């Protein structure tokens, strides 16, 4: 019996390792090639203590020659105050405090060739191919339609919307976006997938159709060459 239990525990450990994403976002040994660029631009000029800022490189995009083209950055000060600012990038909603620094939503794109950081708030970020996929992979922001508030979109969200509509479940008060500034459009609820200003069966069916077309086999590649560290 003890041998069987040990076998099961070993099997669970092996399986847990097998399903761990190859792209470790918050590991202590994560590659941070361009951290000095961030520190020199955003931390040192203000005499801020480096410990008050965090910095992670979450996705690397490569050009045709295999060189890093741009990087998705997650960085900023340590404040996580619930805020009043919202923005939609692709199919994901970002909420932030107005005083968040230096990036409004803690995310930015570092363009390696231009040697420039673009705040996710900047509409220029839309030009970077695969940005939406990278944000989805990292579960950045909130996917529009996320009725169960788990930061991912699934058939469970469609089911939750249907249950609310027929009165089986209570409406989630966190779903309403009335406290956030309106940057245009009719989006008032997180679960409003079609963004028409109300929650209906069309949102549930829209989520189901979206899930049939979205690609989920996205695996970012992290550089490992120490000679490239900057």
Query: Do residues 63 and 105 share a domain?
Result: yes
Residue 168: the pLDDT is 86
pLDDT of residue 219: 67
Q: Across the strands, what pairs with 70?
A: 61, 111
Does 44 share its domain with 135?
A: yes
Provide the strand spans (E) within the chain. Answer: 53-62, 68-77, 85-89, 92-96, 107-111, 116-119, 142-143
Same domain, 28 and 93: yes
Domain-embedded: residue 165: yes
Residue 128 domain-assigned?
A: yes
| 1 within domain boundaries | no
The answer to whether position 10 is within a domain reads no
Domain boundary among the residues 82, 115, 141 is at 141
Q: Same domain, yes or no, for 134 and 162?
A: no
Which residue range(s) make up the domain with 175? 155-213
Whether residue 131 is found in the same domain as residue 190: no
Are the CB atoms for 131 and 72 separated by under 8 Å? yes
Residue 7, pLDDT score: 38
Are both 63 and 134 inside the same structural domain? yes
> How high is the pLDDT of residue 152?
87
pLDDT digits (tens, 9 = 90+) for 26-54: 334 567 899 999 988 888 765 554 457 88
pLDDT at 169: 84
* DSSP 8-state class, residue 171: P
pLDDT of amino acid 104:
85
How far apart CA 85 and CA 96 sit, in angstroms, is 5
- In a domain, residue 53? The reply is yes
Q: Write down which residue in 111, 141, 171 finishes a domain.
A: 141
- Both 39 and 120 in one domain: the answer is yes
DSSP state of 225: -
Same domain, 121 and 193: no
Give helix 155-165 / helix 201-213 axis angle, nearest 10°. Answer: 170
Report the pLDDT value the prediction gives residue 32, as an integer from 0 to 100.
87
* Residue finishing a domain among 115, 141, 167: 141
- The parts of the chain modelled with pLDDT lower than 70 are 1-30, 45-51, 79-84, 97-99, 179, 181-185, 215-220, 224-230
Is residue 226 one of the residues assigned to a domain? no
Q: Among 73, 70, 95, which Cα is nearest to 84's?
A: 95
- pLDDT score at 82: 58
Helix boundaries (H) for the chain: 2-18, 35-38, 131-137, 155-165, 201-213
CB 79 within 8 A of CB 97: yes
Tally of domains in the chain: 2
What pLDDT was estimated at residue 218? Answer: 61
Q: According to the model, what pLDDT value does residue 183 have?
A: 54
Q: What is the pLDDT of residue 12?
A: 35
């Amino acid at each position: 019996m003890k041998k069987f239990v040990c076998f099961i525990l070993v099997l669970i450990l092996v399986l847990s390792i097998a399903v761990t994403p190859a792209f470790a976002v918050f590991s202590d040994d994560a590659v941070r090639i361009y951290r000095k660029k961030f520190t020199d631009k955003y931390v040192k000029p203000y005499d801020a203590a480096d410990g008050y800022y965090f910095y992670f490189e979450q996705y690397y995009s490569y050009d045709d020659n295999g060189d890093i083209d741009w990087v998705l950055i997650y960085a900023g000060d340590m404040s996580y105050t619930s805020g009043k600012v919202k923005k939609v990038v692709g199919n994901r909603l970002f909420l932030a405090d107005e005083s968040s620094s230096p990036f409004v939503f803690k995310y930015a794109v570092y363009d390696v060739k231009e040697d420039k950081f673009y705040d996710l708030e900047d509409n220029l970020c839309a030009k970077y191919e695969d940005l939406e996929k990278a944000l989805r992979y990292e579960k950045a922001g909130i996917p529009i339609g996320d009725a169960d508030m788990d930061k991912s979109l699934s058939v469970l969200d469609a089911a939750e919307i249907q249950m609310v509509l027929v009165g089986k479940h209570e409406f989630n008060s966190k779903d309403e976006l009335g406290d956030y500034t309106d940057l245009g459009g009719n989006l008032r609820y997180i679960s409003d997938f079609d963004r028409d200003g109300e929650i209906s069966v069309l949102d549930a069916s829209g989520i189901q159709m979206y899930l049939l077309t979205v690609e989920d086999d996205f695996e970012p590649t992290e550089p490992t060459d120490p000679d490239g560290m900057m």
